[in-house]
Amino acid sequence: MAERVLVINPNSDRGCSAGICDALAPLRMAGGPAVDVATLAEGPDGIYTNRQVAFVVEPLMRLIEAERARTDAFVIACYSDPGLEAAREAFPGLPVFGIRESSVAVALARGDRFGMIAAVDSSLRRHRKWMQASGFGPRLAASEASGLSIAALAADPAGCRPRLVEIGKRLVAGGADVIITACAGMSPYRALLEQECGVAVVDPVQAAGMLALGAARLAAAARQEAGAKAAE
Amino acid sequence: MAERVLVINPNSDRGCSAGICDALAPLRMAGGPAVDVATLAEGPDGIYTNRQVAFVVEPLMRLIEAERARTDAFVIACYSDPGLEAAREAFPGLPVFGIRESSVAVALARGDRFGMIAAVDSSLRRHRKWMQASGFGPRLAASEASGLSIAALAADPAGCRPRLVEIGKRLVAGGADVIITACAGMSPYRALLEQECGVAVVDPVQAAGMLALGAARLAAAARQEAGAKAAE
Amino acid sequence: MAERVLVINPNSDRGCSAGICDALAPLRMAGGPAVDVATLAEGPDGIYTNRQVAFVVEPLMRLIEAERARTDAFVIACYSDPGLEAAREAFPGLPVFGIRESSVAVALARGDRFGMIAAVDSSLRRHRKWMQASGFGPRLAASEASGLSIAALAADPAGCRPRLVEIGKRLVAGGADVIITACAGMSPYRALLEQECGVAVVDPVQAAGMLALGAARLAAAARQEAGAKAAE
Amino acid sequence: MAERVLVINPNSDRGCSAGICDALAPLRMAGGPAVDVATLAEGPDGIYTNRQVAFVVEPLMRLIEAERARTDAFVIACYSDPGLEAAREAFPGLPVFGIRESSVAVALARGDRFGMIAAVDSSLRRHRKWMQASGFGPRLAASEASGLSIAALAADPAGCRPRLVEIGKRLVAGGADVIITACAGMSPYRALLEQECGVAVVDPVQAAGMLALGAARLAAAARQEAGAKAAE
Amino acid sequence: MAERVLVINPNSDRGCSAGICDALAPLRMAGGPAVDVATLAEGPDGIYTNRQVAFVVEPLMRLIEAERARTDAFVIACYSDPGLEAAREAFPGLPVFGIRESSVAVALARGDRFGMIAAVDSSLRRHRKWMQASGFGPRLAASEASGLSIAALAADPAGCRPRLVEIGKRLVAGGADVIITACAGMSPYRALLEQECGVAVVDPVQAAGMLALGAARLAAAARQEAGAKAAE
Amino acid sequence: MAERVLVINPNSDRGCSAGICDALAPLRMAGGPAVDVATLAEGPDGIYTNRQVAFVVEPLMRLIEAERARTDAFVIACYSDPGLEAAREAFPGLPVFGIRESSVAVALARGDRFGMIAAVDSSLRRHRKWMQASGFGPRLAASEASGLSIAALAADPAGCRPRLVEIGKRLVAGGADVIITACAGMSPYRALLEQECGVAVVDPVQAAGMLALGAARLAAAARQEAGAKAAE
C-alpha cells in the first residue's frame, strides 16, 4: 500500500479545504506519504455549536470506514476535534489525529506555556474548557479572540497582520512561550507571527499533519520490516 | 541552507548513538531534511544521576553553539532531557526538542492515557516525578520497570520480547491507551509491542525526530517564502 | 402552565423507560410537578459507544424543541449525558440535567468521597475519564464494574443482591462515603444497598429528578411572583 | 413517621430565620415532607469568624440529637457549613446538608462554571478557600463582594437590585454559566437576577432544601417498601 | 520580654504533655527562647472526632489570649490542628503553628514525596483529606495506620519498634523520601526509624517547635533592631 | 563532632556572602550549632540562567563532599536551589536544604496563601514555574518584580523601602497571608516589611537556616542518645 495521510475537513466549505491543503504543503516530501485532503459533503458550512459537532460524527465515521483500507493515518481538521473519540473507539489501532489535541501536544514539546488566538469569544470559551478538562489548564498562559473572520483573514492580510501581531505580543507578555493559532484561515500568517513575536507559532493543521506523517512512515516501515521477516 | 535535524546523544557511548541512528531511519525521506546523529565526546558512558545530567549541560551547549548555523532543529536524545531549558533560554527561536517531553506530547495526541516502560525503578521514579511536575500526572495510567539492560535488549531479543509484551499488556490492563518505551535500546521492539499489545507504542527518539523534522520543514518553507517575497 | 419535568430516555428500549419511570415514583407529589418519561424512538437499543452518543443528539434536540413550551425542566436519562451541552447551548435559560453530572453533584453534597458501580469495564473507563475531566478525580475514591447485565438485574434479584452488596462494601473500604449506582437497572437495589453498606447510595435518575423538580418548582414560583406583581 | 426536613439557622437572629423560611416556600408541597425551620438559641447574632463557627458546633449537635428521631433530613443554614462534618461523623446514615456545599453541587449540575456573590471580601476569601480545598477551584469562574448588608437587602430593594444585577452581569462576562448568591438575605432577589443576567441563579438555602427534600422522600419510600415486604 | 515559645496540648492528658515536653528537648538552647508546654485543662482526654476538635477551640483561644503578652510564638500540639485558623484570624501578626501543617512543611523541605504513619484508619482518612484539601495530595506517596495505641508505644518499645520499622520500610518502598510520624507517642522512635529506614523522619511536635523557635528568634531580633534604632 | 550548619553561596560574590551571613545572625545561639557561610570560588558572579545553574553543580558537589564529615546540615543559598536534587541523590541521609524550597515550606506553615517579591520578571517566571511544578500553584496568591538591583538595595534603603512596602501591600490585597522576599539583598528589609504590611515576611536564607538548625540539633541529640545507649 502506498503511504497516505488523509486530512478530512468536516465542514463542506471547499474554500476552507483549500486553505487546509495549502497549509500542508511543507509536509509533502519526495519519498514521504501522500497528504490528501477530503471535504465532508454532508457537513454544514461551518461547525460552531455542540449540535453541529455531534451532527458530523456519523458521516465522518462513514468516510473513515470507506477510506481506511488505503490510508495509514487520518486527521480531523476542525478545531473542535469532532468524532475523534468515536473514531478511535470504532477503529482500534488506526492512527487518528484531531487538530486541537495535536496543536497542544506540539506546543508542549516546544516550550513551557502556550497562548491561544481564537476567532471569537465563544470559541475561546469552548477551547479553554477542553484544555482544562484535558489537564492543560496550568500550561495555558493566555488567550484572546481576534474578532477576525475567515473571510477577512483571506481578503485583507494587510489589515489583519498588525492586529494578529499585536495579540501575539500580548500573549507573550502574558507568559506564553509558544502560540497556537486556533482558528481556520490563520495558516498563511504563521511564519510572520513567529518572526514578529519571537516565539514558536503552531498551526493546528500542520501540527496534526506532522504527527500523522510520522505515524504513517512508522506504519510503512513496520510493514517493510514484517515483509522482510516473512521473506526470510 | 540545506535542511538539517541534528540529534545529539549526550552520553559518549557510540553503540547507543548507533541505536538512535537506526531508530530515526523511517524519518529520512528523499525530499526531507537530513537527520544526523552526533555523540557528545565529553559525556559519561551513561546518564543516570542528577549530577551527570548537570555535568553534560555545558559541553552540550557548546556543541549546539557550534552547529546551530547549519542546523534547523536539535534533538537531545537522553530521556532525562538534559540541558533542554538551558538551550531554549540561550538560543531563543531555535527549535530544540527533548525526547522525554516529545514522547509524552506525541502519546497525548494518540490517546487519553499513556503507560511507560522504563529500565529500572530509579529511572521510573525520576520520570514519574517529571510527569507530575509537568501536569501530566493524571494522564499517566501505569508504569513499570523492565529490569532489562541495554546490553540484554541488544543481545537477547528472543528473551526480552515476551517480557516486554507481558509488561505492555499489564499497562494496557491498567488503563493505558498508548505506551511509551522510556529507555534506550527499546526502539527495535516498538513495532512488535504495538502489534502484540494492540495500542500505539511511542519511541521517544522517533517522537522527537518527527517533531524536529516538522519544525525543520516549516523553517525551510518560511525561508523560501521570505526569499520569494524579497525577489518580488 | 402546569408544572412539568420531562425525563427523556435517549435509547428506544421501553423496558428501560419503565425502570426509569419507577425510579422516579418517590418524586411524584400531589402538590408538585408532573414527572413524565419519554422514549426517544429514533435512538438505538442501548447507548454504549461514542458514535451512538453523537447519533442521538439530533433527535434529542428535536424532541426538546417540541416539548419545551410545556416543560419546566428536562432530564437526559443516559449515564453518558448525551446532548447535554448541545441542549444548554441551544436553549439558554432552559433547565436541562444529565443523570451522570447530577449523580456526582448529589453525591458531593452527601459526603467527602464517592464510589461508583458501573456495569462493565469499558463504561467504568469512560465515566472515570469524564470525572477526571470535570475536576472530580480526587473525589472519586473507588470504582468497580459489576458485570451484571440489565437483564440479570431485572430477572434475578436474589442472585444480584449479594454481589452488589459485596462490591458496595469494597467501595466503602476503599474510602467511599457515598456510592453512585452508575448503570441502568440498579434503581430497585438502591435502598437495600444503602442499608447493607451503611452509606448513602445515589441513583442517577433520582438525583437528576430531584434537581429538575426543584428547578421546576422555582420556575413556577417565579411565574406566580411575576404574575402577582403584574396584577398590582 | 411523618416526613420532615428540619432546616437549622445556627445563629440566633430570628429575622434571618424568617428569611430562610420564606426562601423554602416553593419546596413545601402537598404530599411532600414538612419543611420546618429552627433557630439555634445559643448561637451568636451572626457567624463571621472561625471562632464563631467552632462555637456553634456543640449546641448544634445537641439540637440534632434531640430532633433526629422525628426528622428525615437536616440542613445547616449558614454559608460556612458549621458542624457539617461533625454531624455526619456522629450520626452515620443521617442525611445532613450544608448550604454552601449544596449550593456548589446544584450549580455544577446546571452549567460548567459558576460565579459567586458574597457580602464582604473576608467572606469571599473564606469561601474561595473552601472551594479550592474541595477541588472546585477551576470551576469557580469569578466572584465578587456586594458590600450590601442583610439590613440593606431587606430594607432597600430598589437600591440593591441594580447593584446586584450589575455584579451578576460582570460574573457572567467573567465566564460564569451559573451564579450562586452566597449570602443571607439575597433569596428574594434570586428570580430577578436570573431574569436579568440570563443564567441560572442558585440560592443556597433552596439548593440544600431540594436535596434534603429528595433524601427525605427516598427515606420515606424506603420505609414503605420495607413495611410492605414485612407485611408479605 | 524574654523570648518564649508556648506549646499547648489541647487535650487534658498530662502524660501526653510530658511526651510533648520531652520531644522538644533538642530545641532548648542556652541562648535561645524558652520552650514551655501548657495543658488545656478544659480539653477532653483525647481529640478524635470533629466534635471534639470544635469543642476545644474556645478554651484554646482564651488560653492564647491570656498568654500572648508574654509569648512570641504558639504551637497547637494536636495533629488535627484545632483552632489554628481561628487563632490566626483573631490575632493577626501573632505566630501560631499547627503540628500537622508544620510537619508537612518540614517534610516538603527535606524531599520530594512523604509518607505518613498514623495510629488508626479513621485518623489516616481525616489527615489524608486535609492533605488533599491543602494541595499536598500528589506529594503524599503512601500512608499506613500502625494500630499501636499511645499506651502501647509508651509501655512496649521492644514490641513496637519492629512494627514501626516494617511500616516505615513499606512507605519508602511506596515512594516516600521522608516519613512523618503523625501520631502522639511516636517521638521517642524518631531517631531509630530514621536510622533503620534510611530516610528523614519528621516528628510533628519538633517540626512546629523549630519553626516557632525561628519565628521567636526573628521577633526578638526585630525588637532589638527597633530598640537600637530608637536609641539613635 | 561539634554541631555545624554550613550555608553555601554558589556564586563567587563575597558581598552576597556577607549579606547571607548577616541574615543568619538571629539563628546563632549559645548552645546551638555553629552557622557558617562558605563561598563557591568556582561559581559565577551571579546565577541567572539555567546554564549557570547547571554549571555550579559539580563544584558544589565537591565542596559538600569535602565538608560533610564535619557538617550536620547544608544550605544551598541561591533561590534557584542549584544542585539540591543532585546532592540529596549523592548523599542519602545528609540533610540538604534549598532556600527556595525552604522559603515556601515555611510560608505554608504560617498562612494559607503567599505572595512573592522577586527582582526581575525573568526570575519571577522561573520561580513561578517551579512553584507550579511543585504543586504550590494554587497557594501562590500574587507575585511581583521589584526591579531593584542588589546594589540598589544595599546602597539606597531610603529609596527602596517605600517601593518594597508598596509591592508588599499589593500582594496582601491580592490575597497573600505571607510574603516571601525571593531575592538576594532583601534580608535587611524583612522586619520593616512585616511591620508595614501586617503579614509574616519570610526571608529564604533564614527559612532554610532555621530548618537546617533544627535538623542539626536533632542529629546531635540522636548521637548523644546513641552514645548514652552504647555506654549502658
* Torsion, CA F194, CA F198, CA F202, CA F203, rounded to 10: -20
Span E156-172, mean pLDDT? 96
Residue E75: predicted pLDDT = 98
C-alpha cell at C185: 437497572
Residue F117: predicted pLDDT = 97
Does E174 contact chain B (CB < 8 Å)? no
How many C-beta neighbours within 10 Å does residue F200 have? 26
> What is the C-alpha separation between F6 and F76, in angstroms, rounded?
9
Burial (CB count within 10 angstroms: exposed 0-12, middle 13-18, buried 19+), residue D168 = buried
Does E15 contact chain B (CB < 8 Å)? no
Does D232 contact chain E (CB < 8 Å)? no
| Residue among D86, D132, D135 whose CB faces E49 most closely | D86
pLDDT band at E178 (very low <50, low <70, confident <90, very high): very high
> What is the C-alpha separation between F75 and B106, in angstroms, rounded?
39
Residue E30: predicted pLDDT = 95
Does F111 contact chain E (CB < 8 Å)? yes
- CA-based nearest residue in chain B for residue E177: B125
| Residue among B53, B89, B132 whose CB faces F49 most closely | B89
- CA-based nearest residue in chain B for residue C125: B175
Residue C150: predicted pLDDT = 85
From B191's Cα to the closest Cα of chain F, the distance in A is: 34
Does B147 contact chain C (CB < 8 Å)? no
Span F129-145, mean pLDDT? 95
Residue A182: predicted pLDDT = 95
> What is the C-alpha separation between F205 and A167, in angstroms, rounded?
40
Chain A residues with CB-CB distance to F129 below 8 A = 112
Does C224 contact chain B (CB < 8 Å)? no
> What is the C-alpha separation between F143 and E95, in angstroms, rounded?
23
pLDDT above 90 for B132: yes
Contact A31 B32 (CB under 8 A): yes
Chains in touch with C (3+ beta-carbon pairs under 8 Å) read A, B, D, E
Buried residues in A21-53 as b, exposed as e (16+ CB within 10 A): bebbebbbbeebbebebbbbeebbeebbbbbbb
Chains A and C touch, contact meaning at least 3 pairs of CB atoms under 8 angstroms apart: yes
Span F68-73, mean pLDDT? 97
Residue B9: predicted pLDDT = 97
Amino acid, single-letter form, for residue C161: R
Does A200 contact chain B (CB < 8 Å)? yes
The closest alpha carbon to F48, from F10, F7, F88, belongs to F10
Distances (CA, A) of A21 to A8, A45, A105: 10, 17, 21
Residue E54: predicted pLDDT = 97
- Most E CBs within 10 A among C112, C136, C172, hence the mutation to make, goes to C112
Chain D residues with CB-CB distance to F138 below 8 A = 132, 137
Contact B89 F55 (CB under 8 A): no
Q: How many CA atoms within 13 Å lie on the side-chain side of C88?
A: 19
> What is the C-alpha separation between B64 and B71, in angstroms, rounded?
9
**Mean pLDDT for chain C?**
95
Ordered strands of the E178-181 beta sheet? E140-145, E114-118, E178-181, E200-202
Ordered strands of the C73-76 beta sheet? C34-39, C4-9, C73-76, C96-98
Residue C230: predicted pLDDT = 81
From D122's Cα to the closest Cα of chain F, the distance in A is: 10
- CA-based nearest residue in chain E for residue C113: E129
Residue E2: predicted pLDDT = 82
Residue B166: predicted pLDDT = 98
Percent of chain F whose predicted confidence (pLDDT) is above 90: 89
**Mean pLDDT for chain F?**
95
Contact A57 C58 (CB under 8 A): no
From C9's Cα to the closest Cα of chain B, the distance in A is: 28
**What pTM, to 2 d.p., does this model score?**
0.95
From E93's Cα to the closest Cα of chain F, the distance in A is: 6
Percent of chain E whose predicted confidence (pLDDT) is above 70: 99
Residue C183: predicted pLDDT = 83
Contact A95 B88 (CB under 8 A): no
Chain B residues with CB-CB distance to A31 below 8 A = 29-32
The closest alpha carbon to A188, from A40, A5, A21, belongs to A21
Residue D226: predicted pLDDT = 86
- CA-based nearest residue in chain A for residue C131: A133
From E211's Cα to the closest Cα of chain F, the distance in A is: 7
Chain F residues with CB-CB distance to A112 below 8 A = 129
C-alpha cell at B56: 553534560
Contact D175 A137 (CB under 8 A): no
Chain E residues with CB-CB distance to C175 below 8 A = 125
pLDDT above 90 for E104: yes
Residue A84: predicted pLDDT = 98
Contact A129 D112 (CB under 8 A): yes
H-run or E-run covering B167: helix B157-173
Does A122 contact chain D (CB < 8 Å)? no
pLDDT above 90 for A203: yes
Tens digit of each residue's pLDDT (9 = 90 or more) over D22-81: 999 999 999 999 999 999 999 999 999 999 999 999 999 999 999 999 999 999 999 999
Q: Which long-range contacts (CB under 8 A, 24 or more apart) does A64-67 make?
A: A64/A8, A64/A91, A64/A94, A64/A96, A67/A6, A67/A38
Burial (CB count within 10 angstroms: exposed 0-12, middle 13-18, buried 19+), residue B45 = exposed
Residue A174: predicted pLDDT = 94
> What is the C-alpha separation between A181 and A127, in angstroms, rounded?
12
pLDDT above 90 for C36: yes
pLDDT above 80 for F120: yes
pLDDT above 90 for D229: no
Contact F105 E108 (CB under 8 A): yes
Residue A162: predicted pLDDT = 97
> What is the C-alpha separation between F151 and E34, in angstroms, rounded?
38
Does A92 contact chain F (CB < 8 Å)? no
- CA-based nearest residue in chain D for residue A136: D138
Return the residue matching grid coordinates 443482591.
Answer: C161
**Mean pLDDT for chain D?**
95
Tens digit of each residue's pLDDT (9 = 90 or more) over D160-192: 999 999 999 999 999 999 999 998 889 999 999
pLDDT above 90 for C227: no
| Residue among B26, B106, B111 whose CB faces A217 most closely | B26
Tens digit of each residue's pLDDT (9 = 90 or more) over A111-150: 999 999 999 888 898 999 999 999 999 999 999 999 998 8
Q: How far is CA B73 from the centre of its chain?
A: 14
> What is the C-alpha separation between C29 and C216, in angstroms, rounded?
13
- CA-based nearest residue in chain E for residue F216: E26
> What is the C-alpha separation between D213 and C31, in angstroms, rounded?
14
Tens digit of each residue's pLDDT (9 = 90 or more) over D71-110: 999 999 999 999 999 999 999 999 999 999 999 999 999 9
- CA-based nearest residue in chain F for residue A138: F132
Residue B129: predicted pLDDT = 94
The closest alpha carbon to E39, from E18, E69, E62, E24, belongs to E18
The closest alpha carbon to F215, from F103, F73, F85, F94, belongs to F73
> What is the C-alpha separation between A140 and A163, in angstroms, rounded?
21
Chain F residues with CB-CB distance to D132 below 8 A = 138
Span F47-71, mean pLDDT? 97
pLDDT above 90 for C231: no
Contact F129 A112 (CB under 8 A): yes
Contact B92 A198 (CB under 8 A): yes
- Most E CBs within 10 A among F131, F178, F213, hence the mutation to make, goes to F213
Tens digit of each residue's pLDDT (9 = 90 or more) over F71-107: 999 999 999 999 999 999 999 999 999 999 999 999 9
pLDDT band at D230 (very low <50, low <70, confident <90, very high): confident
Chain C residues with CB-CB distance to A53 below 8 A = 86
> What is the C-alpha separation between E6 and E64, in angstroms, rounded?
9
Tens digit of each residue's pLDDT (9 = 90 or more) over B6-64: 999 999 999 999 999 999 999 999 999 999 999 999 999 999 999 999 999 999 999 99
Contact F29 E27 (CB under 8 A): no
Among the ranges given (A220-229, E86-95, E184-193), the one the predictor scored with the smallest mean pLDDT: A220-229
Helix E99-108, helix F99-108: angle, nearest 10: 170
Return the residue matching grid coordinates 488535627.
Answer: E80
Span F60-79, mean pLDDT? 98
Positive or negative, the CA dihedral B89, B92, B97, B102 is positive
Contact C89 A50 (CB under 8 A): yes
- CA-based nearest residue in chain C for residue A61: C51
CB pairs under 8 A between A and D: 4
- Domains defined along chain C, listed by start: 4-98+206-231 (3.40.50.12500), 100-204 (3.40.50.1860)
Query: Going by C-beta distance under 8 Å and a sequence separation of 6 or more, which residues neighbour residue F14?
Result: F39
Q: Which long-range contacts (CB under 8 A, 24 or more apart) does A62-69 make?
A: A63/A8, A63/A38, A64/A8, A64/A91, A64/A94, A64/A96, A67/A6, A67/A38, A68/A94
Residue A183: predicted pLDDT = 83
Distances (CA, A) of F232 to B51, E160, F220, F227: 43, 21, 19, 9
Tens digit of each residue's pLDDT (9 = 90 or more) over C48-83: 999 999 999 999 999 999 999 999 999 999 999 999
Chain A residues with CB-CB distance to C83 below 8 A = 54
**Mean pLDDT for chain E?**
95
Tens digit of each residue's pLDDT (9 = 90 or more) over B213-229: 999 999 999 998 888 88
Over its C-alpha atoms, chain D yields an Rg (Å, rounded) of: 18
